[in-house]
């Protein structure tokens, strides 16, 4: 595959032989044997395509298998020979499957991965106008944007805190939009003969690129910079390499999948593991921008920690970490309750989203209700949540999409668990 992408900082050069491939010959043999074992009768062109190997390497594997009587030729066409494993070949493949089941694209070397991550470190160019475009689908007040912008330029860790319901998670999810370039990610890497899968289609958004003059190593995929979000489900095991007991294939930890992008720890402090466990695990990587991982038999190796770590919580920073760790989080931004102007704009957008006609009188009535029943604080989530309840009331009543004072009151009652009389009385006083 050949690619030209002006948004790419680094294009790995396609290997031409075993030396430039960067992984051991026995691993190449094992990969080919397992692939042939799975596919039955396979053409050399198909084998090359599935394993992402250069022609010279596939040819060398074929000649080796012929010499060792591990394959037999089943036919040929204009694309080349069709092969299948002999009994000896199937036995070899079965034996190698006991070690590892991996039969996908050939991995890249650890050194190649380290080099690529370093070359693709984020250096975003950001100003106020760019931030306003990035967050145009949210109502975010300028003082918050003016704090987020410099923090993103620094690419140092970010701590978002404040009362729940004011958009911390929504803001954190959109931070990755500030990046305007793409990166390359390997399908897998090889460490001491072991395979570690890095590419995860759940978190890595693949990008189609135009064919150009520079041939790229097909073992890499062009992707958007990743945004990995982990919430209450985060466990200590997710921060380390995970070995599948059946396939003997390692899965990369969340921070490795987030390299060259953003890792968001949502609802920080609500995980089943103590916050100090997470913080202590990353205190060294935050300082030195490198992480250390261990294979299951004890071999330790280094990978880059080239990512922006974002904590989002409704707990106070001082209650979660000591001064030593607070120092390593230079960007601490409080996401406060919204003002009236922002509240009314959120209500307008929420009304439009549910097919309601925006009514300034209803907007002011909702403002009164929320000030009275929400503890005199206007949270960004109120208009959206109450409009959603109102839409459900309409659906239940089999009515058209309309918002009236009575429906608004019913929705407010449900949301704040308030009686109708109390809602009316509090709003009028």
At 343-372, the pLDDT tens digits run 999 999 999 999 999 999 999 999 999 998
Cβ neighbour number for residue 362 with a 10 Å cutoff: 19
pLDDT, position 2: 46
Please give the backbone phi and psi of residue 11, each rounded to the nearest 5 degrees, phi first: -125, 110
Burial (CB < 10 A; 0-12, 13-18, 19+), residue 82, is middle
Residue 139 has pLDDT above 70, yes or no: yes
Looking at every residue in the chain, the average pLDDT score rounds to 90
* 374, 338 Cβ separation under 8 angstroms: no
Residue 316 has pLDDT above 60, yes or no: yes
Distances (CA, A) of 30 to 33, 99, 192: 5, 10, 14
At 172-211, the pLDDT tens digits run 999 999 998 999 999 999 999 999 999 999 999 999 876 5
pLDDT, position 398: 83
Q: Which range has the worst mean pLDDT, 165-169, 292-296, 377-381, 420-424? A: 420-424
* 173, 261 Cβ separation under 8 angstroms: no
β-pairing, 188-191 with 108-109? parallel
**Integer Cα distance of 46 and 23 in angstroms:** 21
* 181, 196 Cβ separation under 8 angstroms: no
pLDDT, position 28: 96
* 123 Cβ contact list (under 8 Å, min separation 6): 155
pLDDT, position 6: 61
pLDDT, position 7: 74
Task: Enumerate long-range contacts of 404-412, CB under 8 Å, 24 or more apart.
Answer: 404/362, 405/362, 405/365, 408/362, 408/365, 408/366, 408/369, 409/369, 411/386, 411/387, 412/366, 412/369, 412/370, 412/373, 412/386
Q: How confident is the model at residue 213 (pLDDT cuts 50, 70, 90)?
A: low
Lookup: tokens for 405: 């004072």
Question: What secondary structure does DSSP assign to 207-264, as a single string?
Answer: ---EEEEEEBPTTEEEEEPPEEEE-TT--GGGGS-EE-TTT--EE--HHHHTTTSEEE
Share of the chain above pLDDT 90, in %: 74
Q: What is the pTM for the complete model shown?
A: 0.87
Residue 429 has pLDDT above 70, yes or no: no
* 268, 231 Cβ separation under 8 angstroms: no
* 80 Cβ contact list (under 8 Å, min separation 6): 43, 44, 45
Instruction: Report the pLDDT averaged over residues 413-422.
Output: 72
Q: How confident is the model at residue 144 (pLDDT cuts 50, 70, 90)?
A: very high
Distances (CA, A) of 216 to 3, 15, 114, 326, 357: 6, 9, 17, 42, 53
Q: How confident is the model at residue 1 (pLDDT cuts 50, 70, 90)?
A: very low
Of residues 326 and 245, the one with the higher pLDDT is 245
At 22-43, the pLDDT tens digits run 999 999 999 999 999 999 898 9
């Amino acid at each position: 595959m050949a690619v030209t992408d002006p948004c790419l900082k680094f294009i790995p050069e396609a290997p031409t032989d075993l030396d430039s491939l960067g992984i051991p010959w026995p691993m190449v043999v094992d990969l080919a044997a397992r692939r042939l074992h799975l596919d039955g009768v396979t053409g050399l062109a198909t084998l090359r395509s599935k394993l992402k190997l250069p022609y010279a390497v596939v040819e060398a594997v074929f000649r080796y298998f012929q010499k060792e009587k591990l394959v037999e030729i089943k036919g040929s066409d204009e694309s080349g020979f069709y092969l299948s494993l002999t009994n000896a070949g199937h036995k070899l493949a079965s034996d190698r499957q006991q070690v590892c089941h991996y039969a996908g694209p050939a991995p890249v070397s650890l050194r190649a991965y380290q080099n690529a991550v370093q070359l693709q470190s984020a250096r975003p160019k950001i100003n106020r106008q760019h931030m306003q475009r990035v967050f145009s689908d949210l109502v975010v007040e300028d003082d918050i944007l003016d704090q987020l912008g410099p923090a993103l330029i620094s690419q140092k860790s970010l701590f978002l805190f404040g009362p729940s319901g004011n958009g911390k998670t929504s803001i954190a999810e959109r931070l990755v939009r500030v990046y305007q370039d793409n990166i390359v990610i390997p399908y897998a890497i090889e460490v001491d003969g072991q395979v570690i899968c890095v590419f995860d289609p759940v978190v890595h958004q693949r990008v189609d690129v135009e064919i150009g003059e520079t041939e790229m190593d097909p073992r890499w995929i062009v992707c958007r910079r990743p945004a990995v979000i982990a919430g209450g489900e985060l466990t200590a095991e997710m921060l380390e390499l995970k070995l599948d007991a059946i396939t003997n294939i390692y899965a990369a930890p969340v921070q490795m999948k987030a390299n060259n992008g953003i890792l968001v720890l949502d609802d920080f402090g609500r995980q089943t593991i103590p916050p100090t466990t997470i913080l202590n695990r990353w205190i060294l990587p935050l300082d030195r921008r490198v992480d250390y991982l261990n294979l299951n038999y004890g071999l330790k190796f280094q990978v880059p920690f080239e990512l922006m770590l974002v904590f989002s919580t409704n707990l106070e920073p001082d209650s979660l970490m000591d001064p030593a760790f607070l120092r390593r989080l230079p960007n601490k931004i409080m996401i406060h309750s919204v003002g009236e102007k922002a509240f009314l704009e959120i209500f307008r957008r929420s009304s439009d989203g549910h097919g309601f006609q925006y009514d300034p009188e209803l907007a002011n009535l909702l403002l009164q209700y929320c000030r009275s029943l929400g503890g005199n604080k206007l949270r960004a989530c109120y208009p959206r949540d109450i409009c959603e309840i109102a839409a459900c009331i309409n659906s239940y009543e089999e009515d058209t999409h309309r918002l009236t004072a009575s429906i608004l009151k019913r929705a407010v009652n449900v949301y704040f668990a308030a009686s109708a009389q109390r809602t009316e009385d509090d709003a009028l006083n």
